[in-house]
Amino acid sequence: MDRVSLRGLRVRGHHGVFQREREEGQIFVVDVELGLDTRPAADGDDLTKTVHYGVLAEEIVAIVEGDPVDLIETLAQRIADVCLAHTPVQEAEVIVHKPDAPITVPFDDVTITIKRSRA
């Protein structure tokens, strides 16, 4: 299976369990890696036979900017669902980074990584 990746998509969202997170929002960073067979697209040089990563990026932004959720696990699942809605995509790995999570000790990043497939 071939891989198409979109990394470092930075989006402001209002997700989290604390009221301050919901009111002020924060930056989330999203990485996706998609598994699909790119041969049909390559054979015909045909964008319609692969995933249009520009369209996918806009869909991911809409999810992160959209309805708030408590958990980044929920956010990651919503992103995976949108990835798998693209017909050629057979599997999706989604990483949601929450670099400004409300943690009281020094840290670099908080992430959730999920893998979903059609199977």
Active site residue 49: no
The owner of tokens 């891989």 is 3
- Of 60, 70, 1, 68, the C-alpha closest to 30 is 60
- Which residue in the list 15, 86, 97, 98 is annotated as catalytic? 98
Instruction: Tell me, rounded to whole angstroms, the distance of Cα 69 from its chain centroid.
Output: 14
Tokens of 62: 């809409």
What positions carry a catalytic annotation?
Answer: 98
